[in-house]
Amino acid sequence: MSVMALEYTPGISKSVFKNRSDQLESKALKNPSDSDLLINTSKNLTIYSFGFTMDEADRVKQKDYAKSKNIFLLANSDFSRAVEYSNQSISLMHPNYEQWINRQSTETPYFELSDIDNLYWAAAAYAGAIQSSNGSPQWVVQLPKIGLLLEAALKLDPDWNFGSLYTAMISYSLIRHDAREDKIDIANSFFNKAIKASNGEDLSPYISYAENIAIVQQDKKEFTNMLYKALNIDIHKNPDLSLTNYINRKRANWLLDNIDEFFY
């Protein structure tokens, strides 16, 4: 999707993105043995849900909590299907994947570099499903799966996709069920690695730091500092990051506009 189209026609672009996701899902349902199609369907559903549906739910929440709950439910439905498509895609390549991800076996599938994309988007889909469930035990209990997927990917290529795995680990390090006492230091370490891997061109690590570290520590100054650093990044400099950077720039502005909601 063109970032220029998103900037100047956000309403239309949302519809275009939704139609794209619907088309992919329709094809995936007709071709359940196409691993690439399944993961692309999961990826598009996940990006759409985070970039549009979850964003809308957060914005509505402060004014109309009941309405926001319905939007979160819509996002959860999309994320849930994204999880299914990702799991189905990986299972086609690795028959023992289901046993491993459900912790019915300690034998890790023989993942290769080509699996990283699948592992990352499966983890992202799980994260979205958990976040949009608003504390549903059905999803919260699946939190360790995010760690299994991300750690498997990190072993293959930790710097993958401009440090996306490091960025994902910032928040996971803080919320994992077996989090260490020095979890803030660990999250900080992943943040620094993400900045280095992206050459400072990705907004994501700064947004994650602000939302997951600064808020936890109630450090308002560092919160604003990270978000302004993110906003100073040229979102067009790295074409491979332009879409996620655009979405994150919107997030950064919204966080700054609502800063009093996060600090007491």
The answer to whether the predicted template modeling score (pTM) of the entire model surpasses 0.75 is: yes
Which of 109, 134, 154 is at the close of a domain? 154
Are 14 and 122 within one domain? yes
Contact status, residue 202 vs residue 194, Cβ threshold 8 Å:
yes
Which of 94, 127, 154 is at the close of a domain? 154
- The DSSP annotation for 159-222 comes to THHHHHHHHHHHHHHHHSTT--TTHHHHHHHHHHHHHHHTTT--SHHHHHHIIIIITTTT-HHH
The DSSP 8-state label assigned to residue 261 in this structure reads G
**Which has more confidence, 106 or 161?**
161
Instruction: Give me the percent of the chain exceeding a pLDDT of 90.
Output: 80
Are 187 and 238 within one domain? yes
Are 16 and 126 within one domain? yes
Are 82 and 122 within one domain? yes
Tokens, residue 111: 């993942």
For CA atoms 23, 27, 29, 35, the dihedral sign is: negative
Using one digit for the tens of pLDDT, what is the confidence trace for 112-159? Answer: 999 999 999 999 999 999 999 998 999 999 999 999 999 999 999 999
Are 208 and 225 within one domain? yes
Which of 154, 186, 206 is at the close of a domain? 154
Are 117 and 13 within one domain? yes
Are 14 and 33 within one domain? yes
The yes-or-no verdict on residue 10 having pLDDT over 70 is no
C-alpha–C-alpha distance, residues 112 and 88, integer Å = 17
Are 70 and 115 within one domain? yes
Q: What is the CATH number of the domain that holds 259?
A: 1.25.40.920
- Residue partners of 111: CB distance under 8 A and separation at least 6: 94, 119, 152, 153, 155, 156
Are 6 and 107 within one domain? yes
Are 36 and 95 within one domain? yes
Contact status, residue 205 vs residue 187, Cβ threshold 8 Å:
no
Are 149 and 64 within one domain? yes
Using one digit for the tens of pLDDT, what is the confidence trace for 198-244? Answer: 999 999 999 999 999 999 999 999 999 999 999 999 998 999 998 89
Total domains, the chain: 2
Are 137 and 226 within one domain? no
Give the model's confidence band at 6: pLDDT under 50 very low, under 70 low, under 90 confident, else very high. low
Domain enclosing residue 201, as ranges: 158-264
